[in-house]
Structure 1
């Protein structure tokens, strides 16, 4: 009996058709993404197919982030250190300024004390009434020239016109004509004693005026009861005549070399 090939759906496709169909299926799967999904395990299983650090960029990104953070931290630390150093410097400068001010104040106070002490010493210093002179007639010398019978002071050699100086600090209590003394000046000294300057050609101070050691108070001459120009100098316990004391001893007791 002769057999014939069946037709329709029971016919086995040929090789060419199966290949075409497989290709179409692969294409369809590729389009739907199934191939990519199924292929992922195969790719992950292969070490050479594992993504590199350079491909992902993850480690690099972390590294850059850490570097920036480190820089920010370093800047913060540097700023804090700079602020601390600036504060310390300011504190040191303030301390130095305060110390310098205190030192300057102490030096000023020391200079002021020294100046006051020097002025005190100067005001308590005594000098000779005629600079570079000498005693030509001594104290208590006798003779008819003096009404009391003896010299109540000493005479310092001095040509007319020689400067006469206050021997120490005091206040003028008399300045004018003094009879036998001619033009004379009497000064109450700061220690309570009195000094007199007689026979002056001119007077340079007035009553009530304060004088200091070595200050010029008049000019020597020959006014009053005298035989020639000189300075009559007396030291007294009061302003009145007759209270005289040894003028040389008086000057020497105050450090004057006479």
Structure 2
């Protein structure tokens, strides 16, 4: 037998079978690879969707923490609360209590539905990422809505939102709430609620404003004069019944410029400050009362701030 390898002749059917088997393997490999790649990449879309939902969760559910100087009116105005401070008060009656004019730093208020904010210009789409970064995770989705402003950001807005109010001594147009301060450029003296034996109730029933004799005093809102004369320890006094049922009391006047039964408008001059009655010097003693008589007082500064007056 020759030394070279012998060539074995196979039947035609056997040769076709071997060729088919080898060709089948060459086609099967790409198919398995494609299936494996699809199995690893398919969950990416749900992951990105879940991240977007987490980013879109409204941070406004955290509520709002009251800081010094806040009022329901200011919070409702800057927070764009539908229904204004009335809706805000109804939502938080259990926290605030019976008097909506009295809120205290540290109280946590829930913010009800907010009015729709003006539409903002569409943000241009960012250019597509280079092809080399196509395999990077795409779960960094950021969603921002006006309703999701953090409470801390809202507090920052509140501290700068109220402009300085400029008024004159003559009758002027009231603020948008219909209220003004009892005198121009008010400078506060002894605060409401200060304890002391010099007061019959055991505490200061009003807010004192620094005012030299002859300073014009103004009606804080529309109302009817119910007192105009000497009030004993209050000296010359004027009391106005306001449209919401509260009473505004002005004490120690040097001059009275209105009469009982007279209707007055917000900003109208009602008299001049002085030092009559039980005082140590000229100033305006100003009260807000639930009723006409002594002892039904509430915090006048909180009341005015709740009606949009900056003090």
1:192 aligns with 2:245: yes
1:217 and 2:217 matched:
no
Q: Which whole-Å CA distance do the structure 2 matches of 1:189 and 1:249 have between them? A: 16
Secondary structure, in 3 states, of the residue corresponding to 2:189? Answer: strand
Q: Does the 8 Å contact 2:217/2:271 carry over to 1? A: yes
User: Which blocks of at least 5 consecutive residues in structure 1 are unaligned?
Assistant: 1-118
Task: Measure the CA separation in 2 of the matches of 1:158 and 1:121.
Answer: 21
The CA deviation string for residues 15-40 of structure 1, in whole angstroms up to 9 with x for no partner, is xxxxxxxxxxxxxxxxxxxxxxxxxx
Shift of 1:251: 0.3
The alignment of Structure 1 onto Structure 2 pairs a total of residues equal to: 140
CA contact (8 A) 1:235 1:244 kept: yes
Q: Is the 8 A contact 2:253 2:284 kept in 1?
A: yes
- Once the two structures are superposed, residues 60-91 of structure 1 have per-residue CA deviations (whole angstroms, 9 ceiling, x without a partner) of xxxxxxxxxxxxxxxxxxxxxxxxxxxxxxxx
- Pick the aligned partner of 2:286 from 222, 225, 233: 233
How far, CA to CA, are the matches of 1:120 and 1:226 in structure 2? 32
CA distance in structure 1 between the aligned counterparts of 2:297 and 2:204, rounded to whole angstroms:
10
What residue is the counterpart of 2:139 in the other structure?
none
| Residue 229 to residue 121, structure 1, CA distance change in 2 (3 Å) | closer
Q: Which residue of 189, 211, 225 corresponds with 1:136?
A: 189
Match of residue 180, structure 1, among 230, 233, 251: 233
Q: CA deviation at 1:121?
A: 7.2
Secondary structure of 2:200 counterpart: coil
Corresponding position of 2:255? 202
Supply the distance in 2 between the matched residues of 1:152 and 1:210 (Cα, whole angstroms). 25
Q: Which runs of 5+ in 2 are unaligned?
A: 1-171
Question: Residues 211 and 145 (structure 1 numbering): CA distance in 2 closer, same or farther, change over 3 Å?
Answer: same
The answer as to whether partners of 1:123 and 1:168 remain within 8 angstroms in 2 is no
Distance change >3 Å, CA 246–CA 229, structure 1 → 2: same
More helix by share: 1
Report deviation, 1:144: 2.8
| Structure with max Cα Rg | 1
Q: Following TM superposition, by how much is the alpha carbon of 1:183 offset from its aligned partner in structure 2, in angstroms?
A: 0.2
What TM-score do you get using the length of structure 2 for normalisation? 0.43
Aligned to 2:178: 125
